[in-house]
Structure 1
């Protein structure tokens, strides 16, 4: 019962903020608005927070009350393989990490509480977003990707264990867990540990790079959300850099078949090249 109650709180928090969000009901209209009103492709509007050539990066994530510093191992060589883009950090993961860090405490003013949640990150890459959620106090985080990324993820998990801030007095640090495992989209998870407990939140950062990916990713989101059988919605948070309008439209079209979707404004600068969505399965 405690777990269901915690997720109800998160879901109610998101619903309470819906007047600040933009309901997405038509993919074509959404893409038209994004690319005609917000989109700016000039490099001057994009602050580069990462370096894809380095094998190790120190990343600062600015939160409301503190700044998290994480050392992230990269493998630039993996990105040369067909269909693989997760060997290095992308700016999108930094933006999504800061979104969570700046809303990590719930004190009645609309910030998102990630504490005590069971989280699955899809297409983790180097794992920055999931590791930030772990540092913020999420109870359980599964970092998932293709098998070739697991070694890098485990290295970054180990670095995170060393640098994780101490828990406040009275909290149960021993209950916190973060691990990496393979999860191939469009298939049931071979590692059933992913869904051994109800999934509270699924996180996806910049994973839609081709139209062919959309149906596989959405099917996996559906599977994870439907694995929860207690009647409490699983929240999906999706961050995506705006690149191809056709790819983005294909993804939103597929997502809208089964999900309620809202776009979350971030800032005038970020909204020009990046978009953030919250979603949950339609009943």
Structure 2
């Protein structure tokens, strides 16, 4: 069964999103009432190397991830360090892989991988093939983390410019089952490019059965609204409830092409 078909069977437990403004009003009313002090930081962006524990019940594990805090000093660059949402999304995949989601047949592409935590976690959870991607300046750190995190299965890092696509034909050589995006939207300017890249990956499969799983930290209501609004132009969008401790500060979406 395709991963798309598995997701479709779960839709009764998801929340359909049809209006970006309504979605943001609902999310951020909870966020502002929760208070930012209740959020627990899981990462330390000041360190060049961090150990991250992925709590997934029987699928728990620890990854050592290299960071480059200096890259984040460059204009528009945020991928040099880990962000909390990547831990949240990795743990969600870990919990779901115990019994609900069989990752062993999936070909996965991650856009804007940064340090690569989510993609490496999916690899460690048994995904058949994982391609982690980012801009050229991120390749050194990303490639090193992939080499350190390798287990059974296929994983590799390659350059993917959202505005230009990938020159590496191997990225979309095989039909993609799942495209993953973790906290890639910090500015409205990147929204059209990211959504365009997501469309490109999803259109690579003839039957259209490509699911996108997006993890996003609640940070800026205006940027979040712009992102959801742009997604709704091309994608069916469902919000995935996790639990109150997560939903107050982060949101997960499942999307696929209209």
TM-score of the superposed pair, with normalisation by structure 1: 0.88
Partner of 1:234: 210
Match of residue 118, structure 2, among 116, 129, 147: 129
Structure of higher CA gyration radius: 1
Q: Report the Cα offset of residue 82 of structure 1.
A: 1.0
Structure 2 spans left out of the alignment, 5+ residues:
none
**Runs (4+) of structure 1 moved beyond 6 Å?**
none
Are residues 1:142 and 2:121 paired? no
Partner of 1:225: 202
1:34-113 equivalence runs, <5 A: 34-40=27-33, 42-106=35-99, 111-113=100-102
Partner of 1:167: none
CA contact (8 A) 2:59 2:125 kept: no
Question: Per-residue displacement from partner, 1:92-124 (whole Å, max 9, x unpaired)?
Answer: 100000000001144xxxx22222211000000
Partner of 2:20: 27
Partner of 2:236: 260
Partner of 1:215: 192
What is the CA–CA distance in structure 1 between the aligned matches of 2:168 and 2:228, rounded to whole Å? 28
Question: Per-residue displacement from partner, 1:9-57 (whole Å, max 9, x unpaired)?
Answer: x222211111111000011111111112344563321111110111111
Structure 1 spans left out of the alignment, 5+ residues:
165-172
CA contact (8 A) 1:39 1:271 kept: no
What is the CA–CA distance in structure 2 between the aligned matches of 1:37 and 1:61, rounded to whole Å? 26
**Structure 2 counterpart SS, 1:212:** helix
CA contact (8 A) 2:86 2:117 kept: yes
**Residues 232, 254 of structure 1: alpha-carbon distance in 2 compared, 3 angstrom cutoff:** closer
CA contact (8 A) 1:130 1:142 kept: yes
Higher mean alpha-carbon deviation, 92-101 vs 177-186, is at: 177-186
CA RMSD of superposed structures (Å): 1.3
What is the CA–CA distance in structure 1 between the aligned matches of 2:105 and 2:213, rounded to whole Å? 17
Match of residue 193, structure 1, among 170, 179, 186: 170
Q: Report the Cα offset of residue 188 of structure 1.
A: 2.8
Q: Report the Cα offset of residue 267 of structure 1.
A: 1.1
Partner of 1:203: 180
